[in-house]
Structure formats: C-alpha cells, structure tokens
Structure 1
Amino acid sequence: MKLPERIRGLRQERLSSLRPLGEFFDHQRISRPQDTNEAFQRITYNTRHFSGNYAVVIACLAVYGLLTSPILLVAIFFLVGGFWAINRFAPEPMQVGEHVVTQKSLYTGLFVIGLPLLWWASPVALFFWLVGSSAFLVLGHAAFIEPPVSSEYTGVETV
C-alpha cells in the first residue's frame, strides 16, 4: 500500500469517527472524578470514544505551533524547496566557470546551510510543546467528561 493511499485511509477512518461538537463540548456532562480510578476509567473510555476529535485537536495544535514559529517554517521550506529544486533543475553535473557542480555538492551546500537553520529553529522544543499541550488538553477533557450511562453496558451481551 502506497503512502498517499494510507494517508487517505487514515483520514477517512479518523474523520468517520468524529463525534458531533455538541457531544464533544457537552458542558452538562462535566464533573470532577471522585478518585483516580474513576478518572482512569473516564480517560480510557473517552479517548476511544472521542479519538477522531482528539486527533483534530492535536492537528490544530501542530498547525498553530508551526505558524507561530516562522523560523521553523522558513527552515522547512528551505530544505524541502532545496531538495525539490536540486532534483528538478540539476539532475546532471553542470559547468559553472572553471568548476563542475554536481548534485552531491549542491546537497552538501543545502545541508551546510539548512541543518544549522533547522537547529536554530528548535523543532525539538515545538515537539515537546505539542506533546505537553495535547496531553494536557486531551487528558483533561477525557478525565472531566462523564461517559454516558450506555457506556457501562458496552461489554454486556443480550441473550
């Protein structure tokens, strides 16, 4: 299975499991769990029940994080654009003055400029911010939203 097909399948699977916003933001079902066991049960149920919604929340946080880090965007566009331009316009060695410029030398130049720029943009900080903020939002929501009464009977079979 090719990557675009996997992405389409994953997107269709996640979007089909989206719950309505009225159910996701139901303020009447918000309550503090009585103990850690109840919080863990709520988190277990709600992360499965609202998995599509949580994926959208995490994607929105990732987009927000990228948009608020312009240096990281420049670094990513520089590296991706550089790869694209080298593959598109310089597949064969070319003569520039007395020097022969090869793809290898172009990639070396791209890495010499692009990797320090990427390091300076600190993608690791964005990654840890994304992990922390999404864990806080997802686990907080999942712990404080009461599962419906029907969730207690999901494992019970009728005869």
Structure 2
Amino acid sequence: MEASMRVMDAVKSFRETRLAALRSPTEFFDYHRISRPADFNQATQRITYNTRYFSGNYVLIIALLAVYALLSNPLLLIALGFLVGGFVVINRFAPEPVQMGEHTITQKHLYLGLFVIGLPLLFIASPVMTFFWLVGASGVVILGHASFIEPGIESEYATVQDSV
C-alpha cells in the first residue's frame, strides 16, 4: 500500500512540474515561426531557449517514442513483462520457503530461475539497440524542432528579466 502511495506521489509531482509546462499544439506546431537559423550561434540560442520553453512537449514526445519503441519490439515487451511479472509474483506469492518433497525452494531459488530464463530473453530482445534508437530519434526530433522554430516575442523579455 505504501509503495502505491509513493508511485501516486511521484506521478502527481511529475504532472505538476513537467506536464504543467505543456504548450498548446497550435503554439508547438506554429508553421509561421519556422525558419532556418542563420548560423550555428543562432541555432544554439534557439535550442537553448526552446528546450526550456517546450520542455513539457519534448517530454511527451520522448514518452510517445518510448511507447512506440516498446510496441514495435514485441520480444522486448514480453521480456520486460516476464521479468517484472516474475518479480511481482515471487514477492506476492512466495515470501516464505516452500517444501516440495526433500527440496526446499526459497525466494533465492525462484529469483535465480527468473534470471536464468529472463536475462537471455532480454538479451535477445536487444534493449540497448532500442535505447539508442530512442535517444537518436528523440534527439533528431527535439533538436530539429528547437532549432527551426523561432522563439516568440516573450523570449526578448526573458533576457531582460534575467539581467535585472
């Protein structure tokens, strides 16, 4: 019960901090503000400003790409479900050792069996490749958007407030 309360608090905190910074889709996809940066310095300034300004939208993009990566790799989804489900089942239904004939099966034995089956399955599912795809895809999308969208007029006032 306590663990579920911690998860709920973490979700609430995430919603209040990151998702409160979500900008409207019309502002995020404003094609009138798209222009090619003049040089690398301007692109860097745009990326710096836009990653802070659209941070909630970028977190949402990363989450959507992560869901897509899991759904497009069913073996990874099965391996993660097997490992997480195995931990839950072992913790819930086998906290005490079980006597089967002459053998005593402990939680340690069950975890060992879970790892012997789950880790090779996870290795075959190539989570590292999925992670690097997620980093690359989100990097291209976020850096591309942040460098091509001109900051709004409010960015001029943000530099004035910082210097005061």
TM-score class normalised by the smaller sequence: over 0.9
One of 74, 86, 101 as aligned partner of 1:97: 101
Counterpart for residue 27 of structure 2: 23
> Take 1:3 and 1:89, find their aligned partners in 2: how far apart are those partners?
22
The residue that corresponds to 1:74 in the other structure is 78
Shift of 1:3: 5.1
Match 1:52 to one of 16, 35, 56: 56
Aligned residue among 102, 111, 114 for 2:115: 111
Q: What is the RMSD of the two structures over their aligned residues, measured on CA atoms? A: 1.7
Choose from 37, 43, 47 the match for 2:47.
43
Q: Secondary structure at the match of 2:150?
A: coil
The alignment-based identity, stated in percent, is: 63
Does residue 86 (structure 1) correspond to residue 90 (structure 2)? The answer is yes
Structure 1 distance, partners of 2:20, 2:60, is: 12
Deviations 1:44-74 (A, max 9, x none): 1110110000000010000000111110111
- State the distance in 2 between where 1:32 and 1:67 align: 34
TM-score by length of 1: 0.93
Secondary structure of the 1:154 match is helix
For residues 8 and 123 of structure 1, the distance between their equivalents in structure 2, rounded to whole angstroms, comes to 28
Q: Does 1:130 align with 2:156?
A: no
TM-score normalised per structure 2: 0.90
1:12 has 2:16 as partner = yes
